[in-house]
Amino acid sequence: MERADPPHTEPRRGRLGRAIATGSLAGLATSATLAVLGAREAGSAVAPINATSHVLWGDEAATADAVDVKHTLPGLLINVGAGVFWALARELLADRLPRRDRATSVATGIAVAGLAYVVDYKYSRGDGLIFHSRGTDLFSKRENKSVPSC
């Protein structure tokens, strides 16, 4: 006799697989968006992706304007990894809710996206080392005086 999973739950493999797929797509979309903004505002499409590697290399990452293994690869992996992490958080949150409909899916997505913004971007300086004009400086030291640098 097959074991039935409790209502509104799925095997871990299903949640993890969806999180890897959607999170990877989100991480790549984030990297593409950063590249477009970087080209427009900093003159380098790869600079904001490289700047994400500041968690490994410090402020020096903000000066890396060309594709290189030291900064670009970790920058991409960090963006994709963060996407997978937050997608898994959304999957786990949605799994705990009694309803599984489109509205709940959208609501959990918005909630986790807001949390990800606060954790990953508001209190991290990586891309803020690059963007400082046209209102895109979400990481301004003016806004985060009490937040220690990474």
Instruction: Return the top range by mean pLDDT from 21-30, 130-139, 141-150.
Output: 21-30
- The answer to whether position 74 is within a domain reads yes
Q: pLDDT tens digits for 64-123?
A: 989 999 999 999 999 999 999 999 999 999 889 888 889 998 999 999 999 988 887 766
User: Is residue 99 domain-resident?
Assistant: yes
The CA-CA-CA angle for residues 89, 92, 93, to 5°, reads 85
What range does the domain containing 58 cover?
12-129
In whole angstroms, give the CA distance from residue 132 to residue 40.
12
Residue 1 pLDDT class (50, 70, 90 cuts): very low
Three-state DSSP string of 77-105: HHHHHHHHHHHHHHHHHHHHCCCCCHHHH
In a domain, 149, yes or no: no
Q: Does a structural domain hold residue 138?
A: no
What are the pLDDT digits (tens) for 46-76? 999 998 898 899 888 888 989 999 999 999 9
The number of folded domains in the chain is 1
